[in-house]
Structure 1
Amino acid sequence: MSDMQTRFETLAVHGGEPRPGADGSVVFPIYQGTVFEADPGDAAADAPYIRLGTNPTQRHLQHRLAALEGAEAAVATASGMAAITAALHSVLGVGDHLIAAGAFYGGTLQFLTEHAARLGWTFEIVDPDDEGAWRRALRPGTKAFLTETITNPTIRIGDLAGAARFAREHALTSIIDNTLATPVVFRPHTVGFDLVCHSATKALNGHSDLAAGVVTGSSTRIAHVASVLCAYGSTLDPHAAFLLSRGLKTLALRVRQQNANALAVAEFLAAHDRIADVRYPGLAAHPDHRRAAEWFDGFGSVLTFRPVGGNEAAELLIKSLQLPYAASSLGGVESLVTRPAAGGHPGPIPGMSADVIRFSAGIEAAEDLVDDFAQALGA
């Protein structure tokens, strides 16, 4: 791709693509094979092999993912949790300590609380806005700093640039989960994060039909992550890699429409007398609005809100909506609603009540979504 093609929409279509394609193909094919011929003197690790993530379709996807995040390298994983856990495993060993800044996705928090001690790790969860708390959490064995771009499902944005700088100053590996933002909205490597993780099951694929994850970073760091994935057998199947690569082509279009829809719904709900609270970074009343406006290109596709009337009203509202599906994922072309603290989210969510509804905007017409919420609130 020429140097002049730098805008994200173009990058999503052409970034990391070989020219010419295999046998002249515009669409990179699926190489489903597990093993490939190699020269007799080559080491096993140098030959394409499916568990190593070096099958041609896997490599093609990884080149594209690295281009989207502006990284040297990427590795695709079997799920978002495989991405997070492989990134942590690549840095932490027995006796090491992790600073975790934020209110984390339940799966990540569950992994730390249930498995870190058995692995010989310790961790401390701190306020993502309080550098003093980060300093107090430092220990001789602290090796990594973990945070999220936009927290799921609490929808907060910490001091991201400060976190990356703090990690550099203290020789820590900085790891960030960029799932809710996507590289359309924010690219963490630009402010100095070492490893960027995604659940590609969500917006990167965008069609609710596969599970995948990704870690991006320098070639050296990604080699360590890939080694962990190889040992655990958590690399991504080539057919899923092909589907994910196809989904990336429309990433910019989908995310921009989802962001616009989320803002329209958030503004409608914030003005409605039957809504007690709305949390979306695109609203001026959100505590992190100024930060999001300065750093982000858009405000994300996910918001939370509480209807007046508690749990009963929340349940009735979800049942009355006609367009969003009641489902617990996010980032797809279809809008989704769920109650995270009422069983719609893995792991604990400190401080969130059961009447909070999370809305993930799809790519439907914003006017139709607003009309649907209007009729549902009339119930």
Structure 2
Amino acid sequence: MAKKIGLDTVCVHIGEVKDQQFKGAVSPIYMSTSYQFTDVDVRRYPRNYNTPNQENLSKKIAALEHAEAGMIFSSGMAAISTTLLAFLKIGDHIVVQNTLYGGTSQFIQEEFPKYGIEYTFTNGYKPEDFEAAIQENTKVVYLESPSNPLLTITNIKRVSELVKSRGLISIIDNTFASPVNQNPIDFGIDIVVHSATKYLGGHSDILAGAVACSKAHMHAIWKVGANLGGNLSDFTVWMLERSIKTLVLRVKAQNKNAKALAKFLNGHPDVKNVYYPGLKSHPEYKLAKSQMRGFGGMLSFELNNGLDALTFQKELKLIKASMSLAGVESTMLSPCMTSHASMSQEQRDSIGITNELIRFSLGIESKKDLIQDIKQAIKATKKLVKIEA
């Protein structure tokens, strides 16, 4: 059914919990942590990810990503770590894209040695970089496109074909794109993970993660998930289901704002570099256009003329200098101090994350107001530079 109806309709209606008693228009919340085990079809328990709210929201996640099954977790990292541990054991090897969310890199580098799991970070994000890193004991290939925070674009179809030809499992972080802009399973990817805190939640008030894949792969993830206990409370599940109803509306508005602001920044004399796949100057513009329906609400940029990134962000009046991303409010941050702070300076430099890089998450405000805020912040920063000089 999900593939035959519009995405907006999927967001609103798929995965609803029907209010059989009072016929309410929205899903009721089932907060119980204890359910009857006799004479029932399903023995429900929150840690088993099968309470009524958990079970139904998982169906919405699956429908959004064109998958057979979905699963909800307590955070994006809970979803990522559980999924990886479901398919890797001692002696196994994973190939990991080098342009990646810092938290995922940190988890792999700090935790995998404890489990005897080997890993190799690619030298780049091209299919040939993945192929060069595959070893005899490789079991999983992990990628992210668009990547955080430099918005690199990986050829999803070619990587998935490479992985399948070797009998391996492919996992992609689709957080930056969201299901509105990109569905990696349609290109052959096995498993899609999300920080649902971001676009799926969309209001900076929900911490959650999501996974979508085949029923067979989900069974393996579920077994590990039940042991690790990274389930989400039913109240937050209910909030997430409510938030996803407006996902398409929010993301389309954010796409539009991001493209407009990317063009503005790209033409500004005080901006050195802009990273946004929707700009024709982006090296993977054509590739992004071929595998994405929209270019996303995220971009990164660097100031020039000696303008300090942190000072600039402190001078913003409307745009919030704030962590995380994808809320309805626009935010900026310095990846070197936040999302990628766990990486060494040398590691960040090797993948192009400079101390002056600013990640910009577009909200749904008026683009004119956002442009004006950036203009005044640059002006104020330039005055401060002159005063200090």
Fold-level similarity (TM above 0.5): yes
CA distance, structure 1, for counterparts of residue 47 and residue 154 of structure 2: 36
Aligned twin of 1:290: 286
2:137 counterpart of 1:141: yes
Contact kept, 8 Å, 2:17 with 2:52, in 1: the verdict is no
CA distance, structure 2, for counterparts of residue 70 and residue 22 of structure 1: 31
Aligned twin of 1:243: 239
- Report the CA distance between 1:180 and its aligned residue: 0.3
Q: Which of 311, 316, 332 in structure 1 is aligned with 2:311? A: 316
CA distance, structure 1, for counterparts of residue 190 and residue 130 of structure 2: 18
CA distance, structure 2, for counterparts of residue 368 and residue 41 of structure 1: 56
Aligned twin of 1:28: 27
Q: Does 13-22 or 359-368 show the bigger shift?
A: 13-22
Contact kept, 8 Å, 1:66 with 1:216, in 2: the verdict is yes
CA distance, structure 1, for counterparts of residue 23 and residue 40 of structure 2: 31
CA distance, structure 1, for counterparts of residue 25 and residue 19 of structure 2: 8
Runs of 4+ in 1 over 6 A off after TM superposition: none
Contact kept, 8 Å, 2:151 with 2:299, in 1: the verdict is yes
CA distance, structure 2, for counterparts of residue 100 and residue 235 of structure 1: 26
Q: Which of 65, 69, 85 in structure 2 is aligned with 1:69? A: 65
Contact kept, 8 Å, 2:65 with 2:179, in 1: the verdict is yes
2:337 counterpart of 1:336: no
CA distance, structure 2, for counterparts of residue 27 and residue 128 of structure 1: 46
CA distance, structure 1, for counterparts of residue 88 and residue 208 of structure 2: 23
2:367 counterpart of 1:366: yes
- Report the CA distance between 1:140 and its aligned residue: 2.2
SS in 2 for 1:354: coil
CA distance, structure 2, for counterparts of residue 152 and residue 264 of structure 1: 20
2:213 counterpart of 1:212: no
- Aligned amino acid, residue 363 of structure 2: G
- Report the CA distance between 1:102 and its aligned residue: 3.5
CA distance, structure 2, for counterparts of residue 375 and residue 83 of structure 1: 40
SS in 1 for 2:87: coil
- Report the CA distance between 1:72 and its aligned residue: 0.7
Contact kept, 8 Å, 1:276 with 1:306, in 2: the verdict is yes
Query: Taking structure 1 as reference, are residues 307 and 135 closer, same or farther at Cα in structure 2, changes over 3 Å only?
Result: closer
Aligned twin of 1:14: 13
Contact kept, 8 Å, 1:21 with 1:27, in 2: the verdict is no
Query: Taking structure 1 as reference, are residues 41 and 15 closer, same or farther at Cα in structure 2, changes over 3 Å only?
Result: closer
Unaligned runs of 5+ in 2: 381-389
TM-score with structure 2 length normalisation? 0.92
Contact kept, 8 Å, 1:280 with 1:303, in 2: the verdict is yes
Contact kept, 8 Å, 2:37 with 2:43, in 1: the verdict is yes
- Report the CA distance between 1:137 and its aligned residue: 2.2
2:272 counterpart of 1:272: no
* Identity over aligned pairs, percent: 37
Aligned twin of 2:300: 304
SS in 2 for 1:267: helix
SS in 1 for 2:136: coil
Query: After superposition, where does 1:189-268 map in structure 2 within 5 Å?
Result: 189-268=185-264
CA distance, structure 1, for counterparts of residue 339 and residue 144 of structure 2: 20
Aligned twin of 1:123: 119
Count of residues paired in the alignment: 374
Q: Which of 342, 347, 353 in structure 1 is aligned with 2:342? A: 347
Contact kept, 8 Å, 1:22 with 1:29, in 2: the verdict is no
Contact kept, 8 Å, 2:258 with 2:297, in 1: the verdict is yes
CA distance, structure 1, for counterparts of residue 2 and residue 298 of structure 2: 34
Aligned twin of 2:181: 185
CA distance, structure 2, for counterparts of residue 82 and residue 246 of structure 1: 21
SS in 1 for 2:50: coil
- Report the CA distance between 1:130 and its aligned residue: 3.6
2:45 counterpart of 1:49: yes
CA distance, structure 2, for counterparts of residue 125 and residue 153 of structure 1: 17
Contact kept, 8 Å, 1:83 with 1:214, in 2: the verdict is yes
- Aligned amino acid, residue 158 of structure 1: T
SS in 2 for 1:116: helix
CA distance, structure 2, for counterparts of residue 376 and residue 195 of structure 1: 41
CA distance, structure 2, for counterparts of residue 232 and residue 111 of structure 1: 15
SS in 1 for 2:115: coil
Q: Which of 69, 77, 80 in structure 1 is aligned with 2:76? A: 80
1:24-70 Cα offsets, whole Å, 9 max, x none, are 2221111110121122697xxx4011110111111111111111111
- Aligned amino acid, residue 311 of structure 2: L
CA distance, structure 2, for counterparts of residue 100 and residue 250 of structure 1: 33
Contact kept, 8 Å, 2:326 with 2:363, in 1: the verdict is yes
Query: Taking structure 1 as reference, are residues 117 and 36 closer, same or farther at Cα in structure 2, changes over 3 Å only?
Result: same
Aligned twin of 1:377: 378
Query: Taking structure 1 as reference, are residues 266 and 112 closer, same or farther at Cα in structure 2, changes over 3 Å only?
Result: same
- Aligned amino acid, residue 178 of structure 2: T
- Report the CA distance between 1:128 and its aligned residue: 5.0
- Aligned amino acid, residue 323 of structure 1: L
